[in-house]
Structure 1
């Protein structure tokens, strides 16, 4: 499995979030529905406008505040220093961490999530730490590549 380990300093993200069911099969249907809702309600366009980007440019996603029942899934992007954001958006502060980063040129991140937890974690020297994980998307719709970022530490 292709991955790299990187140290990153702290950073802030901003965006809109929804509560997603913790059951993986339910989550795999709820996440695309939430992403579609954010496209339709103008949240994505407003974020891109604030960032000075094309309206249909893809954004990232943060997965955090996990409980047995749900987790927060935030459509988000890096918060530039000094950018004032409207109250409809939430800020997410991410501490300095070590990341396991899994690239996927085909951007089939649902399958990649399954492989990471079923193949990589059981055989790696790392374990996940409590902090947000990310789906990082790069490009434009139809020409998107992705990465999954998971905060880790050595076992």
Structure 2
């Protein structure tokens, strides 16, 4: 897997979130449906317009759910890096300063990103010497055609 290490100071993202179960791989079915809904209702276009941070694109942000003790539930955000007052109708999330392993992902969505996540946890982490830092992880998407076989995206995993 091709990756680089990046260090970033804290930053803010704005967007919307949904509680997602990943028991029985429900997230693999639910998250692509949510992206379709957010594209249709204009949320994704709004977030591309708001993007004014270092990370260019719209983000899928995976965070631990603070409202449940279940390890089978997470909050999934569609968001963008944004420096400013949180726009009406959106929520904000502070992303802490971190060292990130940034993985290149090439291929059509959602298959390419799902395959990359599996490889990161089943192959890269066991052999890398790094551990997940326990803070939000990011998926970074461009405004290109996500069905393209050449679609480029990234996964940012906080590590220590």
TM-score (norm 2): 0.82
Match of 2:73 in 1: 70
**Whole-angstrom CA distance in 2 between matches of 1:64 and 1:7:** 19
Normalized per residue, the structure richer in strand is 1
* Superposed CA RMSD: 2.2
How far the C-alpha of 1:84 sits from its partner, in A, is 4.7
- Aligned residues between the structures: 147
1:21-79 deviation per Cα after TM superposition (whole angstroms, max 9, x unaligned):
12262111010011112122232233334459xxxxx6211000244131111111111
**Whole-angstrom CA distance in 2 between matches of 1:145 and 1:74:** 20
Match of 1:45 in 2: 45
Q: Secondary structure at the match of 1:6?
A: strand
How far the C-alpha of 1:99 sits from its partner, in A, is 0.4
- Structure 1, gaps ≥5 residues long: 53-57
TM-score (norm 1): 0.84
Q: Secondary structure at the match of 1:92?
A: strand
Moved over 6 A (4+): none
1:118/1:91 Cα in 2 relative to 1: closer, same or farther (>3 Å)?
same
